[in-house]
C-alpha cells in the first residue's frame, strides 16, 4: 500500500464512514482485462479493499437542488461545474482525492434529468500536461458488456435471433461441448466456458493485436468448467462469443454495428471500439498509480468483452436513453435488468444499496477503472471513469451516491 499523505491522514475519522457505506461487492482485483468477477459458489472474496478517504468538509447539504422532470429523449449534456451546495461538496471531495494521489479521471452525477456535476480531475497525459475533462475518452473495460448485451437485444428486436437459441446456430465450427450453450447463458455468465483472460498467456500477449478468431481459439478446445446453466462464473469468453455472434448475424464488424445501431442514434460521438495499445485521439493515457503509466494493453485482446471507449457525457446520453424506448422496447429493457445467477442480468448487475434499487457495472483493466451506477427508481446516476487502475472506483461511486441520497 502506497504511502499515505498528510492530507489523507487528516481525513482518517471520515474514512470510517466510507467503510460503512461502501459495498464489498465487485471489488476483487483480477488480471488485466478481466473486470470485477464475482466468485463461484466454491470461492470466497479475498477481502474488502481499502476504501477511498472522505474529506472532512463533506456534510449533507441542508437543501437539495431543484429537480427537473426526466426527459423523454437523451439530452446533449454540457460540462457542468458545481453551482449548488451538493455539487461543491462533491467537487471538493474529488479534488481532495486527486491531491492525495488517489484518483484522476472524469465524473458525471445527475438526478431527475439535471446534471449536478460533469468535470475532469487530474491528468489525461501527465507528461504532456493534458488535463482530464468531461469530454476525455476513457477505455471502459468491462463496462463494454452492457453495450454488447444491448446489441444482442437489438438483434432480437429485429427478429434476427432469440436469446434462448443455442449458440452453435450462429458460430462456424462450433465444438460439440458448446451445443447446449444458449445465447442467454453467455449473457448471464452461466455457460461454463473458461475465462481466457485468466490464462497465464494473456498477461504475456495483452499488448499484441488479436482478432476475434484468435481470442476464441484460446478457449475453443478446452473443457467446460461446469454444465451450461448449472453454475455461474463471471468471465470474458462469454462476451467475446457474443461479439462474434453479433458480427455473424449483422453481417458487419462489431465496431460498425455498435456505431450504427447504438452510438450514432444516441449521438454518442465520442464512443467506439478502441484501436491499438496507444491511446487514440482525445483518449486518456492509462496509469497504474499516480504518475506511473500502466503496462500497454491492446483493446483488441478484449474485443466485445471490454474494448470500448467513451466519455462521461456520452454515457449520460446512454443512461437517459435507457429511461425511454428510443433504443429498445420496454420488455427487452426489462429482460436486460432481470437478475439471474448472482443477480447478474444481461451485461448489468442488479441489486440494492441502502434500500435503493441499483443497476450497475464496473470495469477494470491495466490503466483504467470505471463504473456506472444507475438508481432508476430515484432517477439518480453516478458515472466515474478513471485512467488509473490503482483507484478505488467502487468506493468512490458508492460514497457519491450516498451523498445524493443524504441530500434528500
Residue 230 C-alpha cell reads as: 448449472
Q: What separation in angstroms does the CA of 262 have from each of 50, 133, 241, 242?
A: 36, 23, 19, 16
DSSP conformational letter for 37: P
pLDDT of residue 82: 66
Which pairing describes strands 123-125 and 130-131: parallel, antiparallel, or unpaired?
Answer: antiparallel
Q: Please give the helix or strand (H or E) that residue 259 lies within, else none.
A: none
Cβ of 12: how many Cβ atoms within 10 Å? 12
Burial class (CB in 10 A: 0-12, 13-18, 19+), 287: buried
Q: Nearest to residue 160, comparing CAs of 45, 249, 277?
A: 249
Q: How far apart are CA 59 and CA 385, in angstroms?
A: 24
pLDDT of residue 50: 33
Q: Decide: 113 and 68 in contact? Cβ < 8 Å.
A: yes
pLDDT of residue 288: 96
Residue 147 C-alpha cell reads as: 453495450
Q: What is the pLDDT along the chain (408 residues), one digit of tens a residue?
A: 333 333 332 233 234 233 333 333 233 233 334 444 443 332 322 223 333 333 333 333 323 333 333 333 333 344 456 678 899 999 999 999 999 999 999 999 999 999 999 999 999 999 999 999 999 999 999 999 999 999 999 999 999 999 999 999 999 999 999 999 999 999 999 999 999 999 999 999 999 999 999 999 999 999 999 999 999 999 999 999 999 999 999 999 999 999 999 999 999 999 999 998 888 889 999 999 999 999 999 999 999 999 999 999 999 999 999 999 999 999 999 999 999 999 999 999 999 998 999 999 999 999 999 999 999 999 999 999 999 998 999 999 999 999 999 877
Sign for the CA dihedral angle at 71, 394, 189, 351 comes to: negative
> How are strands ordered across the β-sheet holding 272-273?
138-139, 308-310, 272-273
Q: How far apart are CA 110 and CA 287, in angstroms?
A: 27
Amino acid at each position: 500500500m502506497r504511502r499515505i499523505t498528510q492530507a489523507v491522514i487528516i481525513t482518517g475519522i471520515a474514512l470510517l464512514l466510507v467503510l460503512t457505506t461502501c459495498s464489498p461487492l465487485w471489488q476483487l482485483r483480477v488480471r488485466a482485462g478481466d473486470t470485477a468477477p464475482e466468485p463461484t459458489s466454491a470461492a470466497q472474496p479475498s477481502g474488502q479493499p481499502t476504501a477511498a478517504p472522505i474529506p472532512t468538509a463533506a456534510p449533507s447539504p441542508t437543501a437539495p437542488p431543484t429537480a427537473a422532470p426526466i426527459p423523454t429523449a437523451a439530452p446533449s449534456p454540457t460540462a457542468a461545474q458545481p453551482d449548488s451546495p451538493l455539487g461543491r461538496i462533491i467537487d471538493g471531495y474529488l479534488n481532495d482525492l486527486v491531491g492525495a494521489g488517489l484518483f484522476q479521471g472524469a465524473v458525471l452525477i445527475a438526478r431527475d434529468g439535471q446534471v449536478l456535476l460533469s468535470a475532469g480531475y487530474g491528468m489525461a497525459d501527465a507528461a504532456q500536461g493534458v488535463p482530464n475533462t468531461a469530454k476525455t475518452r476513457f477505455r471502459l473495460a468491462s463496462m463494454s458488456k452492457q453495450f454488447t448485451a444491448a446489441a444482442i437485444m437489438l438483434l432480437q428486436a429485429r427478429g434476427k435471433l432469440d436469446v434462448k437459441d443455442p449458440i452453435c446456430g450462429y458460430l462456424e465450427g462450433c465444438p460439440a461441448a458448446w451445443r447446449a450453450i444458449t445465447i442467454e447463458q453467455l449473457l448471464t455468465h452461466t455457460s461454463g466456458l473458461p475465462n481466457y483472460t485468466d490464462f497465464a498467456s494473456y498477461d504475456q500477449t495483452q499488448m499484441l493485436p488479436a482478432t476475434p478468431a484468435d481470442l476464441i481459439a484460446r478457449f475453443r478446445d478446452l473443457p467446460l468448467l461446469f454444465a451450461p446453466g448449472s453454475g455461474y462464473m463471471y468471465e470474458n469468453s462469454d462476451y467475446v462469443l457474443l461479439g462474434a455472434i453479433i458480427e455473424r448475424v449483422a453481417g458487419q464488424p462489431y465496431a460498425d454495428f455498435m456505431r450504427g445501431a447504438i452510438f450514432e442514434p444516441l449521438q454518442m460521438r465520442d464512443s467506439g471500439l478502441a484501436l491499438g495499445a496507444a491511446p487514440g485521439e482525445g483518449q486518456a493515457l492509462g496509469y497504474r498509480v499516480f504518475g506511473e503509466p500502466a503496462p500497454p494493453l491492446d483493446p483488441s485482446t478484449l474485443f466485445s468483452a471490454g474494448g470500448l471507449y467513451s466519455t462521461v457525457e456520452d454515457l449520460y446520453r446512454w443512461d437517459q436513453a435507457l429511461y425511454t424506448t428510443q433504443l429498445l422496447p420496454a420488455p427487452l429493457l426489462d429482460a436486460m435488468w432481470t437478475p439471474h445467477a448472482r443477480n447478474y442480468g444481461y451485461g448489468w448487475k442488479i441489486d440494492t444499496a441502502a434500500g435503493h434499487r441499483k443497476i450497475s457495472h464496473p470495469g477494470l483493466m491495466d490503466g483504467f477503472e470505471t463504473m456506472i451506477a444507475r438508481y432508476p427508481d430515484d432517477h439518480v446516476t453516478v458515472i466515474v471513469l478513471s485512467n488509473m487502475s490503482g483507484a478505488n472506483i467502487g468506493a468512490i461511486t458508492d460514497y457519491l451516491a450516498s451523498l445524493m441520497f443524504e441530500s434528500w
